[in-house]
Amino acid sequence: MPAAPDFPPAPDRVKPVRALISLSDKAGLEDAARTLSRLGVELVSTGGTKSAIEKLGLPVKDVADLTGFPEMMDGRVKTLHPVVHGGLLGVRNAPTHAEAMTTHGIGAIDIVWIDLYPFESTVEAGGGFEAAIENIDIGGPAMIRSGSKNHGHVAVAVDAESIGLILQALKADGSTDLALRKRLAARAFARTAAYDAAVSGWFAGQIEDAAPARKSIAGSLAQTLRYGENPHQTGAFYRTGERRPGVAYAQQVQGKELGYNNIADADAAYELVAEFEQPAVVIVKHANPCGV
């Protein structure tokens, strides 16, 4: 296990100088790019995102201009480079890191905004094996994890809400604070964990492995509940990406918002009635069948 280096404390405020942006979904790009550019932040990007920023008439640097290495292998290799990851992982106020960055011409990257290749939606739409494989992002998760590990100096955005929080902070005083960067890092690690869980779950299904040696399950928040099974407990409802028939993706047609016990009972009733091939009715109370 690597020993923890004796780094100086991370600064509370970081005024960004450079942002790396790579998006599959370009929604919100124009506002963010214009705001960052107006605040004097250098924009760095690749492929379609770089082209989209150029069409806005904003200056943007290609990652290849930083690395001195062209995008290759059908886009599979473009950001996996020490100049990129050194810019994300370098501890700016650690003398040895600062010396290495200077020696090797590595510029700091203070903001990274990446939303990952659309693997989950590709699979959900019925994409074939090769399409799914090509939509497994490699460089994106690597950059997200590098920036998040170094959240003492880097703000990481993985969705519209994350970049919105960064822009809000920059509009207020031109910097991000440590508490925000830490929150964003936690959100980013959760996103890459869910992404990898989706990939590993799909792959297990492709080889028909019903009991893999390791199984990861990840969900996205669907609803914050008033409380859990009892009033003194916290409750929340998460959905996985499987979209199998059931309560998680059912449409509520009337009545007030469901609570924890309502959802649990509805799920138990659905799963039991689904066991019958003929029409059936199930009555459930506290997850126990009272009548079938």
Asked which of 97-111, 121-135, 238-252, 267-281 is least confident by mean pLDDT, the reply is 238-252
Instruction: Say which of 104, 171, 215, 286 is annotated catalytic.
Output: 286
Q: Check residue 68 and give its pLDDT.
A: 79
Quick one: average pLDDT of 244-268? 87
Give the model confidence (pLDDT) of 108-141 as tens digits: 999 999 999 888 888 888 889 999 999 999 999 9
**Residue range 13-206 in CATH 1.10.3720.10:** no
Quick one: average pLDDT of 59-86? 82
**Is the pLDDT reported for residue 242 higher than 80?**
no
User: Distances from the Cα of 131 to the Cαs of 125, 271, 274, 284, in angstroms?
Assistant: 11, 33, 33, 43
**Is the pLDDT reported for residue 168 higher than 70?**
yes
The one-letter amino acid code at 35 reads T
Residues 6+ apart with CB under 8 A from 213: none
Q: Check residue 285 and give its pLDDT.
A: 84
Structure confidence at residue 8 as a pLDDT band (50, 70, 90): confident
Across the chain, mean pLDDT equals: 90
Query: What would the DSSP string read from start to end of the chain?
Result: -PPPP-PPPPPSEE---EEEEE-SS-TTHHHHHHHHHHTTPEEEE-HHHHHHHHHTT---EEHHHHHS---BTTTTBSS-SHHHHHHHH--TTSHHHHHHHHHTTPPP--EEEE----HHHHHHTT--HHHHHHT--SHHHHHHHHHHHTTTT-EEE-SHHHHHHHHHHHHHHS-EEHHHHHHHHHHHHHHHHHHHHHHHHHHHHHTT-SS-SS-----EEEEEES-SSSTTS-EEEEE-TT--SSGGGPPP-SSSPP-HHHHHHHHHHHHHHTT-SS----EEETTEEEE-
Range among 65-74, 213-222, 254-263 with highest mean pLDDT value: 254-263
Q: Which of 264, 139, 258 is nearest to 195 (CA)?
A: 139
Q: Check residue 106 and give its pLDDT.
A: 93
Q: Which of 55, 50, 54 is nearest to 66 (CA)?
A: 50
**Is the pLDDT reported for residue 155 higher than 70?**
yes
153 is catalytic: no
Q: Check residue 89 and give its pLDDT.
A: 96
Backbone angles phi, psi at 222, to 5 degrees: -100, -30
User: Distances from the Cα of 292 to the Cαs of 66, 133, 254, 271, 283, in angstroms?
Assistant: 67, 45, 24, 12, 6
55 is catalytic: no
Fold of 220-291: Cytidine Deaminase; domain 2 (3.40.140)
Q: Check residue 72 and give its pLDDT.
A: 67
**Is the pLDDT reported for residue 206 higher than 70?**
yes
Asked which of 9-13, 76-80, 124-128, 140-144 is least confident by mean pLDDT, the reply is 76-80
Instruction: Say which of 15, 26, 61, 149 is annotated catalytic.
Output: 149
Tokens coding 176: 């991000």
Q: Where are the domains of the chain?
A: 13-206, 220-291
Q: Check residue 35 and give its pLDDT.
A: 96
Global pTM reads 0.84
